[in-house]
Structures are given as structure tokens and as C-alpha cells.
Amino acid sequence: MKLLSTELPPIELMQLRFTAQSEGDFVSIYQSSHRLSTLCRSFPTLQSYLDFAALELCGQITITAFELLAEQLFGKKAYVLCKVSMTVQNVSETFIEVAQLQRSVSGWRFLHCARLPISLLSTEPDSVDMRQLFSDPAAIVY
């Protein structure tokens, strides 16, 4: 099993996660998640996540396009704004995702994200206060 680099900046880590999702590389998705993330709390071992992914995710979710729009760093927290298009069980959707990452001894790791309507793009991506987007707990999806 390949180990995830500890030196990836947040925007590159998100690139890796989207590519991993596109390729069904669930090991990289798990390794790039922070130990306090919903994913790691729901699946305390890599094998438990791989078992779930084989049953529930393979062939169900296809990322058709993603664009990394902006990154903001605030000490040990980082936010990455992305535009994502995916198909979930043959239904296409496009949305804005704001990922929150946390710096740990393992480097930057994905903590959780908020999915927001595509209309958010009416604002210049670099001028969005990504921290403020997490003030609505209903937007946080994982």
C-alpha cells in the first residue's frame, strides 16, 4: 500500500482526493482524511471503509468534472473552494464544495466539507469568506 505524502498543500490534497474518487482509490481517500473527520469516526479502520466502499460506493458515484477555484489558509486550518460535477446513481448534479482541512502530524488532512448551490459562483471565488460558509451546520455534509 502506498503512503500518502505528508507534504501536500491543501489544494493539492483536494486534487488527489478528487482523482482518487474518480479512480475508485478508496485507500487514498481514507488516508487523506483527518482522524477526527466523519469518515474516520464512522470507519475506525481502513478495512472497514474499504468493505463499505466495495458494497456501497463502487459504480454508484462518478465524478465527471471538478475545478479547484480558491484556497485560504488560517494557521492550522485551510479551506478549498471547488466546483464539482458528479453522477450519483445515474442522476447528474453540479455544486460548489468548500472543504475544510486541518493540519496534523500527518500533514494536511480533509476534515469535512459543505456543499452549496452553484449560484455561489456569482461571487468571485477569491473573495468568498470560506470560514463563514461553515456557519450553517445544515450545509456540512461530511
Element spanning 76, H or E: none
Whether 123 maps to a domain, the answer reads: yes
Residue 72 is predicted with a pLDDT of: 92
Residue 60 is predicted with a pLDDT of: 78
- Please say if the pLDDT value at position 46 is more than 90: yes
- 17-32: average pLDDT: 92
Structure confidence at residue 32 as a pLDDT band (50, 70, 90): very high
Whether 117 maps to a domain, the answer reads: yes
* CATH number, residue 117: 3.10.450.50
Whether 128 maps to a domain, the answer reads: yes
- 50-73: average pLDDT: 89
Residue 51 is predicted with a pLDDT of: 96
Contacts 24+ apart (CB under 8 A), 123-131: 125/69, 125/70, 125/81, 126/70, 128/70, 128/81, 130/70, 130/72, 130/79, 130/81, 130/98, 131/72, 131/74, 131/77, 131/79
Whether 50 maps to a domain, the answer reads: yes
The rounded distance, in Å, linking the Cα atoms of 96 and 43 is 26
Whether 95 maps to a domain, the answer reads: yes
Each residue's pLDDT tens digit, 132-142: 766 655 555 55
Whether 75 maps to a domain, the answer reads: yes
| 94 strand-pairing partners | 85
Is the pLDDT higher at 12 or at 140?
Answer: 12
Domain that holds residue 56: 10-139
Our count of domains for the chain comes to 1
Whether 47 maps to a domain, the answer reads: yes
Whether 5 maps to a domain, the answer reads: no
Structure confidence at residue 125 as a pLDDT band (50, 70, 90): low
Cell numbers representing residue 74 in the block: 488560517
